[in-house]
Amino acid sequence: MIEFVNAKLNIGLNIVSKRSDGYHNLETVFYPIGKGSHGPDSHGALCDLLEIVPAQDGIDELITLGNKVDCPTEKNLVWKALKAFRNAYEGESPAVKIILDKHLPDGAGMGGGSADASFTLKALNKLHGNPFSDEDLARIALTLGADCPFFVYNRPCFATGIGEVMEPIDLDLSNYWIAIVKPAVSISTKEAFSMITPQSPEKSVNEIVVLPIEQWRDVLVNDFERSMFALHPEIESIKEQLYADGAIYASMTGSGSAFFGIFDSEEKAVKACDNSQCAFRCVVRG
């Protein structure tokens, strides 16, 4: 079984409050990007490839290809997803070989590792005859990461809590082209949250995204940008360049360091990608 694993963008991101458990309440819109992609286009790849097959020797195995995965197997979210599925499944679960071909960038705020984990759960569920509902899989996914449940549903959602409370929203960017660029800088989630002062926004993200995209620029914000620009001033110019190249809206996604710009033509999006000179750059249909 082969799965094409898409990423996500955060469209608006407000850190609302700090919780007693040390996590933060937030509000954001999760938007799947590269969904249905079957490999790289001329400007980069926006999917990971995940293949799960029976293990010939009866021993579980994880093989990683593509981008270097800098962690031991037991800490890889795909491996953790396999173990979490097995813990939840009550029947017999034969050993599998999992091949993960990584193209989504790490430290980007695009949820690549979380997506790999959730797609692993969904693929294993199919291989076992779909014993779990999406809601069941989302509960398992939450044990792996706050944004993992999103990739179980994989549709535009307004998310609150730590990102696990989701409601579908009617947001369709398919008439636009999206340029995604990531500089060499990688930002850890822990580092990003350590510099945030939580506060409730004047207007909620889900109120703003129903407005025409042309009105998003001055009101739809990512709270991580201010602190990340102070810590890594060289990345602020990336957002400025996206606007200079004609983006209708541009923002950092998640805690960074990838940025995206929404354009009204493929030509403008491609030009913006090339002008960014970032090592990772990609243009996809919204």
Do residues 61 and 105 both lie within one domain?
A: yes
What pLDDT digit, counting tens, does each position of 118-143 carry?
Answer: 999 999 999 999 999 999 999 999 99
Do residues 235 and 150 both lie within one domain?
A: no
What pLDDT digit, counting tens, does each position of 32-73 carry?
Answer: 998 654 434 444 458 999 999 999 999 999 999 999 988 999
Give me the pLDDT at residue 45, please.
58
Do residues 159 and 183 both lie within one domain?
A: no
**CATH number reported for the structural domain that contains residue 127 in this entry:** 3.30.230.10
Give me the pLDDT at residue 178, please.
96
pLDDT at 269 over 60: yes
Query: How many structural domains does the chain have?
Result: 2
Mean pLDDT of the chain: 92
Give me the pLDDT at residue 189, please.
74
The SS3 of residue 31 is: strand
Domain end call among 150, 168, 186: 168
What average pLDDT does this structure show over 101-111?
92
What average pLDDT does this structure show over 149-162?
97
**CATH number reported for the structural domain that contains residue 239 in this entry:** 3.30.70.890
What pLDDT digit, counting tens, does each position of 1-19 carry?
Answer: 999 999 999 999 999 999 9
Which tokens in the block code for residue 115? 């997506």
Do residues 124 and 73 both lie within one domain?
A: yes
pTM value surpassing 0.85: yes
pLDDT at 20 over 70: yes
Do residues 134 and 185 both lie within one domain?
A: no
Do residues 190 and 100 both lie within one domain?
A: no
Residues identified as active-site: 8, 147
What average pLDDT does this structure show over 81-93?
97
Do residues 117 and 16 both lie within one domain?
A: yes
Do residues 127 and 63 both lie within one domain?
A: yes
Give me the pLDDT at residue 190, please.
77
Long-range contacts of 239-245 (CB under 8 A, 24+ apart): 241/272, 241/275, 241/276, 242/179, 242/181, 242/272, 242/276, 243/217, 245/271, 245/272, 245/275
What average pLDDT does this structure show over 168-184?
95
pLDDT at 199 over 50: yes
Domain range for 184 is 177-285
Do residues 255 and 138 both lie within one domain?
A: no
* C-alpha angle 17-23-28 in degrees, rounded to nearest 5: 60
Give me the pLDDT at residue 205, please.
96
Do residues 254 and 130 both lie within one domain?
A: no
Domain end call among 168, 201, 226: 168
Do residues 98 and 199 both lie within one domain?
A: no
What average pLDDT does this structure show over 183-209?
86
CA-CA distance, 77 to 85, in Å (whole number)? 12
CA-CA distance, 220 to 202, in Å (whole number)? 11
Domain end call among 136, 168, 200: 168
Do residues 142 and 187 both lie within one domain?
A: no
